[in-house]
Amino acid sequence: MAFLTYSAAFLWGFSIFPIILSFTTVIIPALSSLGLCKVYMDCLEKAFEFATNRIQQHDSRQDLNGNRGEQLPDNNAAAQKNSVALLQEEEKTTLKKVRSFGTLRREFELSDCYHFCRQGIEAIADDNVTKCFSAAELPSWNLLTRTNTHYEFVSVRLTILWVIGFLFRYCCLLPMRFILTVVSVNCFLMTTAAIGLMPNSRYKRHVSKYVSLMCYRILARAFSAVVTYHNKENRAKGGGICVANHTSPIDVIILACDACYAMVGQVHGGFTGMIQRAMSRSEAHIWFQRSEAKDRHAVSNRLKEHVSDPEKLPILIFPEGTCINNTSVMMFKKGSFEVGGTIYPVAIKYDARFGDAFWNSSKYNMIQYLLLMMTSWAIVCDVWYLPPMHRKEGEIAVEFANRVKHEIAQKGGLVDLLWDGQLKRMTVKEDYKKEQQKEYSKLLKVE
């Protein structure tokens, strides 16, 4: 009898040991960083500095031997050089002759079409639109092979460091991050199911808020997210709309770690649909059918109804409608700026040295993207809450959207572009072609 008791106790302890180990080594550090994040970041910066020094020594030896080594790209310097070159070319391509249309037909010069030729070549080689849909190259190597430059075999020490980092990311970080993901998702599903049984009251909203923050913060640790929030006094309040630039699907997780938001999106099936139903049990979110999504008036009415109630959570919207590579902000869709209410702009800027958060959906599916995130060093970013903005009297929705976009780009150190981000998936509209033709006609200065 005693043997059976000891055997049962041993089996129970053996089965509960993985759970205890997960809580002590993974979940508890996830809930409170315990100062480990700063130590981890400092170690990574020292490793990156060592790698950069070894690469520079390798390049200098190549130069002494007469072979020019491959230079690490500097995006800022290249951008400044391109801007100066463009200004010089604009001066050259401006046609200072004043000619009538008839004279232009008789005295056509080959230089008259130089403007279109130059812009066509730039569009093929490197333009400021399509390069926003691919990962921006780093000025220094971060020991990851997913960049365009590969220096893992420059020296023996660097190779050893790269192998150690590879094993650490895939054999140590990846399993722990996977456990955190499973724990956070299951915790979210169970707690929202319990909250859904509670009657609607202020107490239910408080419980839902703390549960949501806890689950999202655990999930953020699954990417080793290190987020710095600035100007928290400007966070979105109930009855408002929070708009932010869009780099990655995890933008939602980054923002939800600091405040609770109401989400907007289409109804999905499968795992995504299960998450949507769980979210709706605890808070009021706006999910619409695919057929309803085509009716802008119906969607706008639902948004206005939500915004009119200050007791409901602020709506989180990404007006770009697609992911941009953390260097620029593209055109904001005007729909969310026609609803009314207060707009709370948010600027998100990721530090690509530790991991590129940009999702190139044309190259990676969601599973591949999540694997890249979980095998990166960390996801480091800054979030700036900007002062609330209101639509001015006589200001149309497009102008208001551009004004908000400009403030976000300026605060986050991003390039403010007028192009539609949907150019990643569709052809150029005729209106854009006509605008280029108008600009060319101004160069001709025809009487």
360: how many CB neighbours lie within 10 A of its CB? Answer: 16
Q: Which amino acid is at 219?
A: L
* pLDDT value for 300: 80
What is the b/e burial string over 187-204, where b = at least 16 CB atoms within 10 angstroms of the residue's CB? bbeebbeebeeeeeeeeb
| Alpha-carbon gap, residue 290 to 268, rounded angstroms | 9
> Two tokens at 219?
């999930």
Q: In which domain, by residue range, is 330 found? A: 224-416
| Alpha-carbon gap, residue 30 to 366, rounded angstroms | 24
Residues of the chain with pLDDT under 50: 3-4, 6, 9-14, 17, 21, 24-26, 29-32, 68-98, 447
Q: Which amino acid is at 252?
A: V
Residue of 358, 264, 272 whose CA lies nearest to 316 = 264
87-96's contacts with Cβ under 8 Å and 24+ in sequence apart are: 89/118, 93/118, 93/443, 94/443, 95/443, 95/444, 95/445, 96/445
| Alpha-carbon gap, residue 175 to 187, rounded angstroms | 18
262-269's contacts with Cβ under 8 Å and 24+ in sequence apart are: 262/286, 262/306, 262/312, 262/313, 262/314, 262/315, 262/316, 263/316, 264/303, 264/315, 264/316, 264/317, 266/290, 266/293
Tell me whether residue 32 is in a domain: no
Tell me whether residue 127 is in a domain: no
Tell me whether residue 236 is in a domain: yes
> How many domains, the chain?
1
Tell me whether residue 88 is in a domain: no
Tell me whether residue 58 is in a domain: no
What is the b/e burial string over 134-173, where b = at least 16 CB atoms within 10 angstroms of the residue's CB? ebbbbebbbbbeebeeebbebeeebeebbeebeeebeeeb
Tell me whether residue 436 is in a domain: no
Rg (CA), the chain: 27
* pLDDT value for 256: 93
Q: How many angstroms from the chain centroid is the CA of residue 23?
A: 30
> Two tokens at 297?
């008036």
pLDDT of 420-434, one tens digit each? 777 776 776 777 677
* pLDDT value for 394: 87
Tell me whether residue 117 is in a domain: no
> Two tokens at 304?
């206005």
Tell me whether residue 371 is in a domain: yes
* pLDDT value for 11: 47
